[in-house]
Amino acid sequence: MNGPISREVDEILSRCAPGLHFLARSRMVLPALLFLSAHRPLAFIIGQSLWLCTPLELLLPEAGLGDWAEFLSHPQSGLALERLLENSLVVGSSAAEGLLE
């Protein structure tokens, strides 16, 4: 990724961290990664759809819909999120191997 775009994506991704932690806690990282890989071409449309749902943040302030909408509307967001999920999957599997030993 390019320098300025990478920083922008990283900044947005850090604000989306609670949703990623939820995926890790509920052991849904692999299904999320498969879903993301299959639907990456639709990320922009999904991001724009989330902008339409941002008024729901009045009811669910912890949802972070605006952050996710901004992130998914970025052209390189899908690749960055895919890499982050892959890294968390590798870290999680190595931690599980450590528990088995």
Q: Look at residue 101 in the predicted model and tell me its pLDDT.
A: 43
Q: Would you kindly state where each structural domain of the chain is located, as residue ranges? A: 3-100
- Euclidean distance between CA atoms 47 and 56, whole angstroms: 15
Q: Look at residue 1 in the predicted model and tell me its pLDDT.
A: 42
pLDDT string in tens for the chain (101-residue length): 444 556 767 777 777 677 777 877 888 888 888 888 888 888 888 888 888 888 877 777 766 777 778 777 877 777 887 887 887 777 655 544 443 34
DSSP-assigned letters across all residues of 34-83: HHHHHHGGGHHHHHHHHHHHGGGGGT-TTS-HHHHHHHHHSTTHHHHHHH
Token pair for residue 83?
Answer: 């890499």
Token pair for residue 64?
Answer: 């972070």
Q: Look at residue 87 in the predicted model and tell me its pLDDT.
A: 77
Q: Look at residue 52 in the predicted model and tell me its pLDDT.
A: 86
Q: Look at residue 99 in the predicted model and tell me its pLDDT.
A: 34
Identify which of 30, 51, 40, 48 has the alpha carbon closest to the alpha carbon of residue 76: 40
60: left (phi over 0), alpha (psi -120 to 50) or beta: beta
- Euclidean distance between CA atoms 71 and 69, whole angstroms: 5
